[in-house]
A and B are shown apart, each in its own frame.
Chain A
Amino acid sequence: MANHAAKSRTALGGRLRSMTDTNLLMSITIIVFVLMYLFAMIVLQKGFLKPQTLFNILNANAALIILSCGMTLVMITGGIDISVGGVTALVSMSCAVYLDYHGGSVFGSLLLALGIGLAFGLIQGYLVAFLEIQPFIVTLAGMFFARGMTTIVNTKQFNVTHEGFLRLKDARIIIPFLGSYNKRGDYIDAYIEIGVVVALLIVAILFFVLKWTKTGRNFYAVGGNKQSALMLGINVKRTVFLSHLLCGILAGIGGFVYFMHVGSGSPSHAAGAEMNAIASSIIGGTMLTGGVGNIIGTLFGVMSLALIQNIVSSIGLDQAWWTGITIAAMLCLFLVIQSVIIARRKRANLSAAAGSKE
């Protein structure tokens, strides 16, 4: 009898509960994104009907997508990395100086970017994983170090004039059939930048890694419960180290993509990028407490964030401060949603557990 009742209760208790936290939070994000885009297309129309608007969002945010992917990895293991914005600035500046003042090659600058990212990943990963220092403090120091170093490398903003690099920067990948006609009736091709391809490739690879490889699942296990993960035979320290290492490398790549997009070096580049990356991850359904999150969600998190900024400015609130306020409001909303959902589920589980005991 009791068993029967419990069964019907779980059936009633719904699909929602049988959904994993990761999928639930990601679905919310995707739904919100689609609704917002539909709203923009129907109410605001203007550019939102053109596919290029979507591509432009991608073009402008390719670097942020890569940074957010790294952030998501770290956050899934229960950590945080706020040095990514600083690393991005440092990479842009170093590459710019290397190309223009030291006559470096494009390939060399790419290596430089990767090297910087790798160095940050290695050191921060070591401090967090093996010396067990709070990730926030370590990466806060990393962020300040990177920002300071950017100024030490070069104080002034300047545009890169290296030819090979400019060719790469202006390279566009034409998307067939999705172009639009301008006022004079000329057909304009829809395009994306190389950075977008890199970003989407990284999203795809990481999605695969997190879903189908053992290493990927270890990230979730460690974030879910470090102690348990250790008992289950997972090398927790190595996993945490790996997440920071990957995040560092991705920050290097993201930095280079950013550099390709802006084509200049400046100490104020990528200001607040770390916060945007964290916000995107959270909006994309990654839990701060670790163990829950998804790369696809993160992609939509970045897109949602960019989209709402676009919407806000096309409504006419185009002053600079609205950007900060909108991001913060959205972040706040999703944080509260997360905290409420998790509290709800906990209660539901408790009563389910008590119920099954009767």
Chain B
Amino acid sequence: MTTKSARGKGESFLSGLLRHQIVIPIAALLLLAIFNLIVDPSFFRITFGYNSAGNPVLKGYPITIIDYGTELAILAIGMTLVTAASGGQDISVGAAIAIAGSVILRILCGTGESTDGLQAPIIVAVLVACVVAMIFGAFNGALVAFFKIQPMVATLILFTAGRSIAAWINHNELPVTSDAGFKAFGNFLPGIPIPAPCFFAVGCFIVTWALLKFTNLGLYVQSVGINEKTSRLNGLNPEFIKLVTYVLLGLCVAVSGFIKVARLGTINYSVIAKDIEMDAILAVALGGNALGGGKFNMPASILGAYVIQFLTTTLYKFDVQSDALSAYKAIVVIVLVVLSAPTVREKLSTLVKKLRNTNQTVPSA
């Protein structure tokens, strides 16, 4: 009797722990951290220094992860919403970032070749990029919501055309700006040793938190994602809500695009934000969110994004070529989805039960 109840308790504690989605990305994070700690503890060293412009900066791999994880984390926010509401993912975010970046540079640099001064205020460029990215988001959203096309296929259109459109916006020229004020947003703000993108990330997190806290966005998105028909009968407009999630993702894309171009002051249409859609989807999955839609956990997704960046940085550290990165990530994805597949889980749980039973019968006998 006692062993039985103890087992029941143990199980419920374990399953209770596992019920918290955020456990999955935290576990992955710890795994990576431990791996790095064993292989090379200097991975975690952070140094203080000055960059070429004389600004105080913090350096080290952890800083790199937080810095370069920004775009991914911001995209993960939008991707989580889109996934939850429409049960599919947007694979055009990389291409859309190229468009947003292209728009920003077009406005800042004008039509001429590379210029030193800016042709327009940065805020104007960003706002226009936001509008453009949201319009493209709305295009994707409309195909998904009103024409009922599977999200991944609907966004295939922009995925195919996006980088071409980006090139077309600047007539295939590569505008370059060396304006320090603009580039500071992608690197370091004067006098602040923390990378500037981190502030964007924090800003986005706060806005998202507020959006989920002070509006019904979360409830509506989850309801629509879980049961569209019921949602409609409870007064929601599922099509509109899906559309809104894609528009919000568009906004995330614009912010990410801005940071991306601000880092370099230029754009390479075919390379910028390459394969980022894969990373963003992976972040959502790693956050333990069902890719088929429904309930979501935003902090878990965001943490998932940083885990991916952690993985990327770790691989870079081991001199893996950037083009070869995807092979390793693919393996991580497969392991992840295989482990989370319902059929595999079922088998695993029966296996665990069997093991436990044998363990428990042995001492009592």
Would you call A173 an interface residue if the criterion is a C-beta within 8 Å of the partner chain's C-beta atoms?
Answer: no
Please, which residues of chain A bring their CB within 8 A of the CB of B150?
A: 288-289
Would you call A328 an interface residue if the criterion is a C-beta within 8 Å of the partner chain's C-beta atoms?
Answer: yes
Q: Which of B165, B326, B333, B337 has most chain A Cβ within 10 Å?
A: B326
On whether the beta carbons of B149 and A325 are closer than 8 Å, the reply is no
Would you call B38 an interface residue if the criterion is a C-beta within 8 Å of the partner chain's C-beta atoms?
Answer: no
Bound complex: CA of A148 vs CA of B275, how far in Å? 11
Which of chain A's residues has its CB closest to B269's CB?
Answer: A321
On whether the beta carbons of B327 and A148 are closer than 8 Å, the reply is yes
On whether the beta carbons of B323 and A327 are closer than 8 Å, the reply is no
On whether the beta carbons of B160 and A279 are closer than 8 Å, the reply is yes
Which of chain A's residues has its CB closest to B323's CB?
Answer: A151
Give 16 CB contacts A-B under 8 Å: A130-B343, A132-B343, A133-B341, A134-B292, A137-B337, A138-B337, A141-B333, A142-B330, A145-B326, A148-B325, A151-B327, A152-B321, A319-B167, A325-B161, A328-B158, A331-B156
On whether the beta carbons of B153 and A127 are closer than 8 Å, the reply is no
Would you call B14 an interface residue if the criterion is a C-beta within 8 Å of the partner chain's C-beta atoms?
Answer: no
On whether the beta carbons of B292 and A127 are closer than 8 Å, the reply is no
Q: Interface size of B by Cβ–Cβ distance < 8 Å?
A: 46
Would you call B57 an interface residue if the criterion is a C-beta within 8 Å of the partner chain's C-beta atoms?
Answer: no
Would you call A322 an interface residue if the criterion is a C-beta within 8 Å of the partner chain's C-beta atoms?
Answer: yes
Would you call B163 an interface residue if the criterion is a C-beta within 8 Å of the partner chain's C-beta atoms?
Answer: yes
Given the known interface contacts A151-B324, A288-B149, A331-B156, the answer about A320 and B334 at a Cβ–Cβ threshold of 8 Å is no
Would you call B75 an interface residue if the criterion is a C-beta within 8 Å of the partner chain's C-beta atoms?
Answer: no
Please, which residues of chain B bring their CB within 8 A of the CB of A138?
A: 334, 337
Which of chain B's residues has its CB closest to A343's CB?
Answer: B148
On whether the beta carbons of A137 and B343 are closer than 8 Å, the reply is no
Please, which residues of chain A bring their CB within 8 A of the CB of B341?
A: 131-133
On whether the beta carbons of B164 and A322 are closer than 8 Å, the reply is yes
Give the contacts of A301-344 with B (CB-CB under 8 A). 319-325, 327-329, 331-332, 335-336, 339-340, 343
**5 additional A-B residue pairs with CB within 8 Å, beyond A152-B321, A324-B163:** A144-B326, A145-B334, A332-B157, A335-B149, A339-B149
Would you call A291 an interface residue if the criterion is a C-beta within 8 Å of the partner chain's C-beta atoms?
Answer: no
B277 to chain A, nearest CB (A): 9
Give the contacts of B112-157 with A (CB-CB under 8 A). 143, 147-150, 152-154, 156-157
Q: Which of B153, B156, B172, B285 has most chain A Cβ within 10 Å?
A: B156
Bound complex: CA of A289 vs CA of B154, how far in Å? 13
With beta carbons under 8 angstroms apart, the residue of B161, B292, B330 that contacts A329 is B161
Please, which residues of chain A bring their CB within 8 A of the CB of B338?
A: 127, 131, 133
With beta carbons under 8 angstroms apart, the residue of A152, A275, A323, A336 that contacts B327 is A152
Bound complex: CA of A27 vs CA of B149, how far in Å? 21
Please, which residues of chain A bring their CB within 8 A of the CB of B330?
A: 141-145, 148
Would you call A140 an interface residue if the criterion is a C-beta within 8 Å of the partner chain's C-beta atoms?
Answer: yes
With beta carbons under 8 angstroms apart, the residue of A282, A289, A335 that contacts B147 is A335
Give the contacts of B319-365 with A (CB-CB under 8 A). 321, 323-331, 333-334, 337-338, 341-344
Bound complex: CA of A289 vs CA of B148, how far in Å? 11
With beta carbons under 8 angstroms apart, the residue of A137, A147, A278, A325 that contacts B153 is A278
Please, which residues of chain A bring their CB within 8 A of the CB of B324?
A: 148-149, 151-152
Would you call A3 an interface residue if the criterion is a C-beta within 8 Å of the partner chain's C-beta atoms?
Answer: no
Which of chain A's residues has its CB closest to B292's CB?
Answer: A134
A223 to chain B, nearest CB (A): 14
Please, which residues of chain B bring their CB within 8 A of the CB of A141?
A: 330-331, 333-334, 337
Given the known interface contacts A145-B331, A148-B330, the answer about A335 and B164 at a Cβ–Cβ threshold of 8 Å is no
B254 to chain A, nearest CB (A): 20
On whether the beta carbons of A134 and B291 are closer than 8 Å, the reply is yes
Please, which residues of chain B bring their CB within 8 A of the CB of A282?
A: 153
Given the known interface contacts A151-B323, A152-B324, the answer about A325 and B168 at a Cβ–Cβ threshold of 8 Å is yes
On whether the beta carbons of B147 and A336 are closer than 8 Å, the reply is yes
Please, which residues of chain A bring their CB within 8 A of the CB of B329?
A: 144, 148
Would you call B159 an interface residue if the criterion is a C-beta within 8 Å of the partner chain's C-beta atoms?
Answer: yes
Would you call B96 an interface residue if the criterion is a C-beta within 8 Å of the partner chain's C-beta atoms?
Answer: no
Which of chain A's residues has its CB closest to B153's CB?
Answer: A288
Please, which residues of chain B bring their CB within 8 A of the CB of A319?
A: 167-168, 172
Q: Which of A133, A141, A143, A151 has most chain B Cβ within 10 Å?
A: A141
Given the known interface contacts A131-B338, A140-B281, A335-B154, the answer about A147 and B326 at a Cβ–Cβ threshold of 8 Å is yes
Would you call A228 an interface residue if the criterion is a C-beta within 8 Å of the partner chain's C-beta atoms?
Answer: no
On whether the beta carbons of A147 and B323 are closer than 8 Å, the reply is yes
Bound complex: CA of A278 vs CA of B101, how far in Å? 28
Would you call A195 an interface residue if the criterion is a C-beta within 8 Å of the partner chain's C-beta atoms?
Answer: no
Give the contacts of B258-308 with A (CB-CB under 8 A). 275, 278, 281, 285, 291-292
Would you call A272 an interface residue if the criterion is a C-beta within 8 Å of the partner chain's C-beta atoms?
Answer: yes
Bound complex: CA of A288 vs CA of B148, how far in Å? 11
A64 to chain B, nearest CB (A): 14
Please, which residues of chain B bring their CB within 8 A of the CB of A288?
A: 149-150, 153
Would you call A39 an interface residue if the criterion is a C-beta within 8 Å of the partner chain's C-beta atoms?
Answer: no
Please, which residues of chain B bring their CB within 8 A of the CB of A329?
A: 161
On whether the beta carbons of A321 and B164 are closer than 8 Å, the reply is yes
A155 to chain B, nearest CB (A): 7
Which of chain A's residues has its CB closest to B95's CB?
Answer: A324
Would you call A208 an interface residue if the criterion is a C-beta within 8 Å of the partner chain's C-beta atoms?
Answer: no
Which of chain A's residues has its CB closest to B150's CB?
Answer: A288
A166 to chain B, nearest CB (A): 28
Please, which residues of chain A bring their CB within 8 A of the CB of B337?
A: 127, 133-134, 137-138, 141
Q: Which of A140, A152, A336 has most chain B Cβ within 10 Å?
A: A140
Bound complex: CA of A120 vs CA of B141, how far in Å? 32
On whether the beta carbons of A324 and B160 are closer than 8 Å, the reply is yes
Bound complex: CA of A137 vs CA of B88, how far in Å? 10
Q: Which of B147, B161, B162 has most chain A Cβ within 10 Å?
A: B161
With beta carbons under 8 angstroms apart, the residue of A133, A145, A148, A335 that contacts B157 is A335
On whether the beta carbons of B148 and A339 are closer than 8 Å, the reply is yes
Bound complex: CA of A149 vs CA of B158, how far in Å? 26
Would you call A158 an interface residue if the criterion is a C-beta within 8 Å of the partner chain's C-beta atoms?
Answer: no
Bound complex: CA of A339 vs CA of B148, how far in Å? 7
Which of chain A's residues has its CB closest to B340's CB?
Answer: A133
B152 to chain A, nearest CB (A): 5
Which of chain A's residues has its CB closest to B169's CB?
Answer: A321
Please, which residues of chain B bring their CB within 8 A of the CB of A323?
A: 164
Given the known interface contacts A131-B343, A137-B333, A336-B147, the answer about A320 and B292 at a Cβ–Cβ threshold of 8 Å is no
Bound complex: CA of A319 vs CA of B281, how far in Å? 32
Would you call A267 an interface residue if the criterion is a C-beta within 8 Å of the partner chain's C-beta atoms?
Answer: yes
Please, which residues of chain A bring their CB within 8 A of the CB of B325?
A: 148
On whether the beta carbons of B154 and A325 are closer than 8 Å, the reply is no
Given the known interface contacts A132-B341, A327-B160, A328-B160, the answer about A140 and B278 at a Cβ–Cβ threshold of 8 Å is yes
